Structures are given as structure tokens and as C-alpha cells.
Amino acid sequence: MQPQPLQTFQMPMFRRFVPRRIRPWIYIATALCFQFSGGVYLGALEAVRGTTNLMIEDLLMLLYAVLAGMAVYFPMLFRMKFRFTNQQLLCGAAAVMGVCNIITLSTSNMAILLPICFIAGMAKIQGTFECMSNIQLWITPTRDFGVFFPILHIILLTAITGSVWIAAAVAFHFSWQMMHIITIGTMCFVVLTQLLLCKPFCPMPQRIPLRGIDIPTGLLISLFMLMVSCFFVYGDYLMWLTSPYLRWIVALSAILLAVILYRLKTVEKPYISLKIFRYKNVLPILLVTIIAEILLGAEHTLEEIYWSEVRGLEEHTKTELCLWSLPGVYIGVLVTLFWLGHKRWKVWKLFAIGFGCILAYAIRMYFLIDVNVPLSDYRLALVLRGCAYAILAASLMWSLHESVHELEHFFMALFIFNVIHMYLAGAAGYGIYTTIFQHFMADNMSRYGAELTITHIDIQQFDMGIFMDGYFLHSMMAVTLKQIFGQIVWVAAVMTAAFLLLDIRRIRTGIEKVPYWSVYGIKMLGRLGSRNKTN
């Protein structure tokens, strides 16, 4: 799509005494406040687990509830923008986020925390969208999404990594509750800036009512997403389908999915239009997103096992080390901005660069997994991971926008994209990696354990406790992680090679469809008949 004509940037919601130069920066600060907030904080999970009765699976479930709330709210964003003023939306989102953090501080009941985190996710995306939509013309006066999406990901990915580090630092020096108090303070800042510096403003003179929104289907989709995440998060802990609880979840999820599809086909104005899947390249984009997210899921699972179990690092040390992914994020954003915004080159090779960074990251980690390697040697791998995430996230979102031209359908497509991008693929990746890790771990223990015989050890000087502690943690886990990173290397190499080949015009356009066997047989019979006549 060609960028739209140049438009004049204005922010009429600000009062006259506010200088024009600082107005966009106030909204950037507001967007960062929302992005740094949440129902639970990834960097403080260990501290929360140590002071409550919640397991790590419970905390991950709450984290995915926040992401589910963010994803499912996308189709509502423009309807809300055209119905309420900016002041109502931002003050309302800040108030909801503040109340959610107060409730999170006061209880550890999963039945309460799960819906609260879901609502917090909705408030988080509402506040972020309202801020970024108002400064879009300041970022790119021509509404060039090849510029807007990379710059948007500077804010998003900085907040994702930065919030983990801040939460871990606050939990280390104070307590995990302090992070929630800080969030409540930032939400008070948002409300004060809106009341003191801004006035009510809505871009639509005639407000669009909220009637006609298929709320029941949206709620069913939300419930389905939570059930799917429950299956993957608790799968390894409950031994997958051997658990009657997970079997019930699978059965109910299948029934719920059938009801959702029926409503999407029969309701006049469904929450998500199935026409989205008819747009060109939407399904391939979603497939590439799934593969990329599962590969990058190594960050959440494999790295966590390595840093915590093998190296024994504290949460604060881990997050300080992982800050090295931020330089990679900025490099990836600059590459994407140059590629799509400045040069406007085709996206195939950019995908290859993104998967190539995953390949280089996995190779680097494969050779560095050892307790004797200094932590500083992992910095390059983390930079490569951040670069891959920034390139693929921004370029895939840009590709989706290029494929889905209608604005309403684009936000529905963004819902599906984000369900995969920051939710289902992440939860599925966690379940897949934990299961593979347990399988390889058991296999390695049985193989190497068979070598432990009296002929190989000195009983007089053998201490079983010390040996098993070092053998299990330092050797078996390291070997298992190497095996899984080796699998990631192969998948990333295949994806990199595939996109490099797709960038070659002859291969991209010259692929012939293989005919049905009956057609092929008829052609062969025709050739045989012509040969018999000549003979």
C-alpha cells in the first residue's frame, strides 16, 4: 500500500498553555506507563512464589490472562475511540489498572486474580492504543506503517524487557508488592496529566454507539483462550492427557470452539469476521508467526532453566543479563525501519534475516551452555535474540497490514495475530519445551546412568549425594539443553533457507502445481499411445 498524502499533525485535546513540542512526549510517557503496568510482573514471579501459595504455573496462567485480555480487546479499540473522549478512555484505563493492582496486592485467590488480570490486560491495551493513535501523524505524517510499526515496537519491546528488569530490581531491594505500588503511582500520574493538561476530545463529532457489538462471542473467545492456555501451562505438571482435569478441558474447549465458529457464521455482525482468512497471504503470515514464536519461546523456558537451575542465578542477576537483548531490539528496529520505511524492499529477505538471527542465537547458545563459561560471553546471543524478535514482530505486523486493507478487518486480523504472537504460541511453546526437556532429560539419565557400575567408580571415595547433585544439575541439564537448542538450529536454518529461496524470482514464480494422479496417468497413456503408433 502506498502511504497516504501528508496531513497536518495536531493534538487538540491539550489545553493551550501546554507547549506544542512536549505534547507528543507526554503521550509517549503515558503509553510507557501503561506498557510497564500489568496484573503480574514477570521479573517478580520468583518473589511472589516464595511469599504466597501460588505455583509457577499459576503465575504463568495469570500472565497469559493479561495477554488474553490485551488480544481479545483489539476489535473494540476503534469503537471505543469513536464513542468516548480521550480523557474518558485514558482516565478510565488508568483507574481500572490501579484498582486491579490494588486487588492483586490483597489476595492470592486464583478465582479472583484470573479475571482481574484479564481486565488489566484490556485496560493496558486501551491506554496504549489511545496514546499511540493520537501521535501516529507525528511519527509518520504520511501514515507509512513501514515507519510506524518499527517505532511502535521500540516502545513495546523496551517496556517488555524493562518492566521485567524493574520488577526484579524492586523485588530484590524492597519487595514484590512495591512494584504494584509504583504502578498505582504511575496510573495516578496518567489521571493527573489528563485532568490538568488535557480537555475532553473525541475525533468523531457524532459519537458512534456501541450497539451491535457481538459481546457474547467475544466472551466465549476469551474463555476459549484461557482454557487453551490452561491446557499448555499445566500440561507438563499434570502429565497431559493422563489427567482427568485436562481431558475435561480438551473436551470443553472443542465444544466451545464449535459454538464460537457457529456464531461467527450465523451472527449478522460477528466479533471476528471469517472474511479475514480470505485475504491474500493472511494464513501464511499466521503460520510464520506461529513458527517464529515457538522458536523464540526458548527465551521463556530454556533460558530460564539454564539460568536458574544450571547456573543458579538470582532473578535480579538474570534480568540484568537479559537487558542485553535491548541493544538487539534497537538494531532490529533500525534494520526494519531502513528496509520497509526507507528502501521499501520486499519483505522475504527481511524474514530470512530475522530467522537467521534466531539461527545464530541458537548456535551461540548451543556452544556456550557450560557452567565454566563467563556470563559476559552470552551477551552476543542475547543481542541476536532481541534483534530477531524486533525484526520478525514488526515485519509480520506490517505484512498483515499490507494484506488486510479494510480498517475494521485489519483490527480483527490484529486480534488473531496477537492471539498467536503474544499468547497461544508462547503458551504452546512453554508446554512443548517443558515436555521435550523432560523427555530428553529422562532419556539422558537412563543412558548415562547405565554407565555407573562398580567397575567405573571407586566405592571408597564415592559420595552419592555430591555426585548426583553435580551430575544431575551440571551435566544432564546442560546436555539436554544442548539437544533442544540443536533442534532449534535445524528449524531456524530451514526457515532462513526457505525465505532466501522465496526471494529468488525464478523460484518464487516458477513453481508448477503437481497434477492429480489421474491427470498424470492420462498424460502418460497418451504418450505411450503415440509411441506405439510411431513403432
Summarize pLDDT for 251-304 with one digit per residue, the tens.
Answer: 999 999 999 999 989 888 888 888 888 888 889 999 998 889 888 887 778 888
Fold of 12-205: Growth Hormone; Chain: A; (1.20.1250)
pLDDT digits 0-9 by tens, 128-162? 999 998 998 899 888 888 899 999 999 988 988 88
203-257 pLDDT tens trace: 777 777 778 788 889 889 989 988 988 898 888 888 888 889 999 999 999 999 9
Helix 56-72 to helix 215-235 angle (10° resolution) is 150
State the pLDDT at residue 455: 47
Cβ contact 332:387 at 8 Å: yes
Q: Which own/partner contact pairs does 138-144 have at CB distance under 8 Å and 24+ positions apart?
A: 138/9, 138/24, 140/3, 140/341, 141/6, 141/7, 141/9, 142/3, 142/4, 142/5, 142/6, 142/7, 143/3, 143/4, 143/7, 144/3, 144/341
Kindly report the backbone phi and psi dihedral angles of residue 60, in degrees, each rounded to the nearest multiple of 5, phi listed first: -65, -35
Which is more confident, 104 or 460?
Answer: 104
Residue 98 has pLDDT above 60, yes or no: yes
So what's the pLDDT on residue 450? 59
Task: Just give the CATH number of 273-448+468-529.
Answer: 1.20.1250.20
- pLDDT bin (cut points 50, 70, 90) of residue 491 is very high
How many other C-beta atoms can be found within 10 angstroms of the C-beta atom of residue 254?
11
Q: What is the pLDDT of residue 316?
A: 83
Cα-to-chain-centroid distance, residue 428: 11
Domain 12-205 and domain 273-448+468-529 have a common topology: yes
- Judged against a pLDDT cut of 80, whether residue 21 lies above it is answered with yes
Q: Which residues contact 439 (CB under 8 A, 6 or more apart)?
A: none
Helices 379-403 and 145-173 pack at an angle, to 10 degrees, of 140
Domain boundaries, the chain: 12-205, 214-270, 273-448+468-529
